Each structure stands twice: as structure tokens, then as C-alpha cells.
Structure 1
Amino acid sequence: MISNFLHHILRPFNIILARLVNHALPLADQLRINASLDLVQRKGTMITIRSGSTLKNASELSIGNRVLINHHVQINAAGGVNIGNDVVIGAGCIISTVNHCGPCFFGNTSRHPITIGNNVWIGAGAILTPGTVIGNNVIIAAGAVTTGHISGNALWGGVPAKRIKSLSVNQ
């Protein structure tokens, strides 16, 4: 009975608190993203980074013009990441230039740069591994895992990513 009474009395305060938190979290997230973006080595124009995304080692990141980094993308640019112009990175993608190596996984890492060409669409949940080089005019299918050189003018998908079909610029 007392708990029902307290619930009834406190309910308006809970609603107000929930509204404040729901507005504050996206703002805090955007402030964190903006702070990371300030550290980016080279920035083009019209860059959009959606909520939940993380830019680690942003000083080693270069972003071209008209780039969309969707929700919950993780970029670890410790080894250097270069993103070209007209690039869309789908939600939940992981772009990491760092890998564990050696007999002991803790503390032993290697770093290799990642390059993303111009006019590239990376589908949701794709993973770009260290050393990946993506050419121009490429689509990476959702959930694909890229390794090595991804040639241009093509659709790539799978684990590991394989060339599925050629694309013309007009497609």
C-alpha cells in the first residue's frame, strides 16, 4: 500500500527525470563526438557522425567530403585511417587498424593503416581489418569482413569478403 502511494506520488518526477536523461544523453554523446572530431587530422565538409559512434586515436584519422558515419560505428585509427569522399559507413561497423600478434596476446599488437576510397558504401556490421585498402566505387555488403586489397568498381561480401560482381559507375 505504501509502495503504491509512493509510486503514485513519484511518478510525475520519474517522467520528468526520464525526459531529462533522454535529452541529455544524445547531447553528451554529440559533445563527445565533436571533441573527437576536433582531433581529426584532415576534415572535409559535410561530415555526419551519428550517435554511439567512437573515434579512438582520432589524430590518426583523415575524413574527406560528404561522409556519413552511422550509429554505433567504432573506428580505432591508431595505425592511420584515411576515408575518401562520398563515403557511407553503415551502423555497427568496426574499422580497426590494430591487431593482436605473437605468442602472448596481451600487449603484443601490430598496426596497419586502412584506406577507404571515394564513392564507397560500407554496409551495416561490416568489419574492416588492419591493412585493408578499399578502391573507388565499391559496395561492401552488410556483415562482410574485409582483408587486404579490395579492388574498385565492385560489390564485395562474405567472410572473408570476396568480389561478388563488377559495378559500373552508372549503377
Structure 2
Amino acid sequence: MKTSYLDYCFSTIVLTIAGLIGYLGGLASSSLAVFLGWGDFRVLAAVLCALLFFGISCVIMSRLILFFYPLADGEYSMDSIQFFIWKLYSVLYYFGCGALKPFNVMFVRPFVQYLFGARIGKNVALGGTLVDPHLIEIGDEAIIGENSVIAAHAINSGYIRFGRIVIDSQATVGVNATVMPGVSIGRGAVLLAGAVATPGTVIPDGEMWGGVPAKRIKSVMMLHN
């Protein structure tokens, strides 16, 4: 993947800003712990609050980047501003998610992805990894299996391709499955464990697909009307 000195410079700047905010947040929380008589916990409070403030700073800066430079579907060269913006956003996303990991228990995962731009419905079970959450939409009661990867970009032959991914309500993405850019998984549909939904694949409502690349296997019963 092509990188330049500008990538390193801007990444360093935004991470330094987030780090400074995290440091100040940790320092303030440590002082507050002492003030409240919880001096024995001041180090723990400082570390946790520093991580929290760092993570929230990454969220805010990443959303500002997308507000001013939204990354739309399409194919772009590695010399384009879109590629540069994507790399900057990705740095904030991965470092931010890492900082928020102590707070990112299973039932909080969808909310963290929502903060970074994903559109996520109610009662979603999110066990997999979202890449480019700002281009991913997951409907109510969908299940994203452990170690699955939902990636809304692909890099090939000097170009990066962005494609919005839509996983409809009550759909299931199996363990270790891969969903690539531009994929649509219909309501109540199932992508089996280990399957790969290649770019542009459309899985209709209520169908089960599997294999590499994923192909239709059979229809499945819808859970709810």
C-alpha cells in the first residue's frame, strides 16, 4: 500500500492531539480521585480515563474528517485525495478502537462502531470486525459471527475501491466469513461460516449462501414476518 511522508506527518499530528487530550484527561481524573479520597485508585483512574479520552478524541476527529471529506462509493487511485483521507481516517479508527478496548465489551461493540460512523440497528450481535464502518449498514437483530470480516474497501493494481455494505435485519454472517465491498445481504439471509461474499454480491432475502466464492445453497425460513 502506497504511503508518503504526508501520511506519516498528518497521522503523527492527529495522534499527538488525541494523545495530549488523553493525557490531560488522565491527569484530571487522577487529581479528582485524590480530591474524592480515592487516592489508592488514582493510577487506575488516570490510565482508564486517558484511554477513554484518547478514544473519544479519535472518534471526534474521524467524524470531522468524514464530514468535510466524505468517502463515497467508487474506485480511486493511490495518488487521490480519497486514498489519503481514507488512510488518515483508518489510523484514527484503529488507534481509537484500541484505546476503547477496555470498555468495549460484547454488548458495547455496536455502539463503538456507531460512533465511528456505522449504521447499526437494534439488538445486533457483533462478534466480527468491521473495516470502514462509515460504509457499513447492519439491520436490527443481525448476527455477525466471531472472526468474520466486513470490509468495505479493496485494494488492487494501484487502486482502492469503496463499496457500501448492507446487511439487512435478521441476517446472519457466519464465523470466519468475509464480506467484501458492495455486498448486500438480504433480510433473514445466511452467509455460512468461512464463506467469502466477493465484491458486488447480492444475497436475496431468506437465502443461504456458502463457499468461496459464496453461492446460493437453499432458501431458509424467515424468523419473523
Interval containing the TM-score (normalised by the shorter chain): 0.5 to 0.7
The verdict on how the C-alpha distance between 1:78 and 1:69 changes in structure 2, with shifts beyond 3 A counting, is: closer
* TM-score, normalization by structure 2: 0.48
Q: C-alpha separation between the residues in 1 aligned to 2:115 and 2:148?
A: 16
Cross-structure match for 2:205: 152
1:79/1:112 contact within 8 Å kept: no
The verdict on how the C-alpha distance between 1:64 and 1:110 changes in structure 2, with shifts beyond 3 A counting, is: same
Cross-structure match for 2:107: 48
Q: C-alpha separation between the residues in 1 aligned to 2:212 and 2:107?
A: 28
1:78/1:111 contact within 8 Å kept: no
Cross-structure match for 1:95: 150
The letter of the residue matching 2:173 is I
Is 1:65–2:122 an aligned residue pair?
A: yes
Q: C-alpha separation between the residues in 1 aligned to 2:140 and 2:176?
A: 21
Matching of residues 84-123 of structure 1 within 5 Å: 84-102=139-157, 104=158, 108-123=159-174
Deviating above 3 A after TM superposition, structure 1's stretches of 4 or more consecutive aligned residues are: 38-41, 57-60
Matching of residues 138-149 of structure 1 within 5 Å: 138-147=189-198, 148-149=201-202
Q: C-alpha separation between the residues in 1 aligned to 2:116 and 2:204?
A: 27
Identity of aligned residues (%): 29
Local SS of the residue matching 1:99: strand
Q: C-alpha separation between the residues in 1 aligned to 2:140 and 2:210?
A: 21
Cross-structure match for 1:124: 175
Q: C-alpha separation between the residues in 2 aligned to 1:142 and 1:82?
A: 20
Q: C-alpha separation between the residues in 1 aligned to 2:194 and 2:126?
A: 16
Note the alpha carbon deviations across 1:7-61, whole angstroms, 9 max, x for none.
Answer: xxxxxxxxxxxxxxxxxxxx89x969x859x7799xxxxx8256xxx95x96331
Query: How many residues are aligned here?
Result: 127
Structure 2 unmatched ranges of 5 or more: 1-47, 64-105
Cross-structure match for 2:185: 134
Structure 1 unmatched ranges of 5 or more: 1-26, 42-46
More strand by percentage: 1
Note the alpha carbon deviations across 1:48-98, whole angstroms, 9 max, x for none.
Answer: 256xxx95x96331100000111xx22112661000011111100101011
